[in-house]
Amino acid sequence: MITLQQLEYIVAVDKYRHFVTASEHCFVTQPTLSMQIKKLEDRLNVVIFDRSKQPIVPTIIGAKIIEQAKEVLYQSRKINEIIKDEENSISGDLSIGIIPSLAPYLLPKFIGNFSKKYPQLNISINEMLSEDIINTLKNDEIDVGLLVTPLNEKGIFETPLFYEEILLYVNPNHPFAKAKEVFTYEIATEKLWLMSEGNCFRTQVINLCDYSSKLEESKHFKFESGSLETIVNIVNYEGGYTLLPELATIDVSKKGIVKSFANIKPLREVGMVTSRTNVKSKILELFAEEIKTSVPQNLLDANNGKIVYWR
């Protein structure tokens, strides 16, 4: 008989690619975990993991079994979630992924109040890049992601939450600081500081101003960061300018100048993303409403400007 425990063990080994590490995360001894996986392999008459390689990798048939195991485990967890949702019970676990260009500016506005309202809800939060959020959602490793939408990703359900303006942040000594008008096509120069590769906001900026990689090569001082706060400080002390989402400008250092563009009001759409099979509908509905009430209400209007895509 195949057990859910055995399926959890093979999923853990696939995730960590190491029997000892997997056993630690499953809170069992390594011999117990190994024995149960061997029993499963004997039951199915297949080899799930190639133990001759380091790190351990699944066999071809093993990879298929592991994918099915993930689905079985997810479906088994849904039973309890369905009952809780039917009872409108705001309890259980809620795991959240959020992008770095959003986390410092959005989380403090709502997460404290949300957790106090629902003390029986166990909340865990991880900062991760957009593509990682998408992958972990598909693997059922998190319940919800907060990132920049639209994604148009198969198997992912999107709920737009708010729309923040993309603004220019300029060192006071740069000519843009005193200019009456600044246009998006003017900022594609070597003085523009960008976030590092993998951050969706970097791609939005590049798409907005048609920035060329050749400009990056011309810089004598090259620097990229996953932190907008770090980039702001670089602008403050090294000169030049960067772009910031609106929430990031609310508490930004007063050393620089924040300006809107003259030719367009670019917006980034911030959304909540979930798996299409997620059953925590009541919790997620309350989660979305808490976020909407925590941001300036003018950010809820999608017609305030033009959405800039990153995908």
Element at 98 (helix H, strand E): strand 92-98
pLDDT at res. 23: 92
Q: pLDDT class for 86, splitting at 50, 70, 90? A: low
Q: What is the CATH number of domain 163-266?
A: 3.40.190.10
**Closest of 146, 181, 142 to residue 162, by C-alpha:** 146
Cα–Cα distance list, 61 to 16, 33, 48, 54, 57 (Å): 19, 20, 7, 18, 11
Each residue's pLDDT tens digit, 184-226:
999 998 899 999 988 999 999 999 988 765 555 555 567 778 8
Torsion (CA) 201, 206, 209, 213 in degrees, nearest 10: 150
Each residue's pLDDT tens digit, 215-269:
555 555 677 788 999 999 999 999 999 999 999 998 776 789 999 999 999 999 9
Q: What angle do CA 33, 38, 43 make, to 5 degrees?
A: 130
CB atoms within 10 A of CB 5: 13
> How far is Cα 2 from Cα 52, in angstroms, rounded to an integer?
25
CB atoms within 10 A of CB 197: 10
Same fold, 88-155+277-296 and 163-266: yes
pLDDT at res. 275: 85
Q: What is the CATH number of domain 88-155+277-296?
A: 3.40.190.10
- Reduced to 3 states (helix: H, G, I; strand: E, B; else coil), residue 244 is strand
pLDDT at res. 209: 87
Domain coordinates of the chain in residue numbers?
Answer: 4-83, 88-155+277-296, 163-266
**Sign of the dihedral through C-alpha 19, 21, 22, 24:** positive
Contact criterion met (CB below 8 Å) for 173 and 246: no
The reply to whether omega before 245 is within 30° of 0 (cis) is no
pLDDT at res. 215: 56
For residue 94, what are the β-bridge partners?
123
Cα–Cα distance list, 275 to 22, 69, 234, 258, 279 (Å): 25, 17, 38, 37, 9
Each residue's pLDDT tens digit, 105-149:
999 999 999 999 999 899 999 999 999 999 999 888 899 999 999
Say if strands 156-170 and 241-245 run parallel, antiparallel, or are unpaired: antiparallel
- Reduced to 3 states (helix: H, G, I; strand: E, B; else coil), residue 256 is coil
The proportion of the chain whose per-residue pLDDT surpasses 90, expressed as a percent, equals 71
Q: What is the CATH number of domain 4-83?
A: 1.10.10.10
- Write out the E strands in 260-300: 266-275
